[in-house]
Amino acid sequence: MSTSGSSTGDGGAQGVCLPEAGATDDEPEQPQGLPILDLKVLQELAEDMGGSGVARAFAKDYIGIWDKRQGYLEQSVRNNDSELAMDAVLSLKNSAFMVGGLQLASLAVELERLIRAGDLPAVRSLLPVVAQTGHDTVTALKKTYLRHGR
C-alpha cells in the first residue's frame, strides 16, 4: 500500500490512499473492508531502507509506544482539548499508516474529521473502538510480522 496519491472521495485522508467508502464490503466488521494489518507496508519500508532491521525496529517501537499514544488521545478528549486531540490523532494516523495498521489508520482518518468538525463527543464514543483496534493491530504485529522475522 502506498501512502501517497489521492485521498478518499471526501478528501478526509489528505493525500493518503484509501478505498472509496463502500468499495469493499466483504467483511462488514472491518472499517471499509480493510484488514487489521497489511504486511506489504512494512515489507516496502524494509526494501526502501535496504533491509528488514529498520522496519522491525519501527514495528517494535510502535508496539512499545501504543499505550502512550492511546492514553494521550484519551486524555486530550477527556479534557475537551481539541488541539491536543488533533495532535494525538495525527500521530496515531501517521504511525498506523507507516506500520500497515489499515483499520486503525482508517479509524484515525474518521477521528480527524470529527475533531475538525468540533465533535469531541463523537470522538469520545469511538475511543473503545480505537482501543480495541489498536490492541488488535499490536497483536497482529507480534503474531505475524515479528514472530516470523519478515
Write the pLDDT tens digit of every residue in 64-90. 999 999 999 999 999 999 999 999 999
| % of residues, the chain, pLDDT over 90 | 73
Mean pLDDT of the chain: 83
Q: What is the pLDDT of residue 96?
A: 98
Residues 107-137: tens digit of each pLDDT: 999 999 999 999 999 999 999 999 999 999 9
Q: Alpha-carbon distance 14 to 12, whole Å?
A: 6
Measured over the CA atoms of residue 81, residue 83, residue 88 and residue 90, the dihedral's sign is positive
For residue 23, the SS3 value is: coil
Beta carbons within 10 angstroms of residue 116's beta carbon: 12
Q: Compute the half-sphere exposure of residue 72: CA atoms within 13 Å on the CB side of its CA.
A: 15
Of the candidates 68, 58, 78, the residue with the CA atom closest to the CA atom of residue 124: 78
Q: Is the pLDDT of residue 145 over 50?
A: yes
